[in-house]
Amino acid sequence: MGRKRTIDREALLDVAEGIVNRQGAAALTIDAVAKAAGITKGGVQYSFGTKDDLINAMFERWGKSYTEQFQHIAGDTPDPLTAVRAHVEATRASDSGSHAKAASLMAALLQTPEHLASTQVWYQERLAGLDTSTEEGRRARLAFFATEGIFTLRFFRLMDIGEEEWADVMSDIAALVRPDN
């Protein structure tokens, strides 16, 4: 009697992210993941259920990684300014593989209203409580938007931004929110 084969959910998530990275969000289907992973469509459905469940799992995995990095920088209950600084630093410190995953997920997530809504809430929370009546608060808001802008330009391939330029721009953005400014 043979041993029951197990399916590695993390490996399937890697496959799904690869599909979105290479072919775009529209190419992400249960069938495409199954073919790329060399398993049956039923195997993917057993692991995730639906395409939405697969996307949710992708987002949760990326979100957990980002949250760990963010909390390492900001602590558990950062004030709004520290939260923006931590976001800039977490984005700056992440490797390009993490950024590619995040961009892939964003492309997939924004296809449905419920995913768009949760992303909008995340962004609102990231800036919540920031006092933009102060120069420091306005610089922090600008740094946040600049961080998201360069991320979007680079990882959606809207502009060719190499590692050196990325590091230079992120250094400039981080300077906007340094406590000594």
Q: How many CB atoms lie within 10 A of CB 36?
A: 18
Q: Where are the domains of the chain?
A: 52-176
Q: Distance of CA 126 to CAs 48, 70, 89, 140, 154, Å?
A: 29, 11, 14, 11, 21
Q: Please state the length of the chain.
A: 181
Which pTM value belongs to this model? 0.74
Question: What is the C-alpha to C-alpha distance for residues 171 and 12, in angstroms, rounded to an integer?
Answer: 35
Q: Give me 52's structure tokens.
A: 């939405």
pLDDT in tens, 14-43: 898 888 777 767 788 999 999 999 999 999
Residue 101 confidence (pLDDT): 63
Query: DSSP class of residue 4?
Result: P
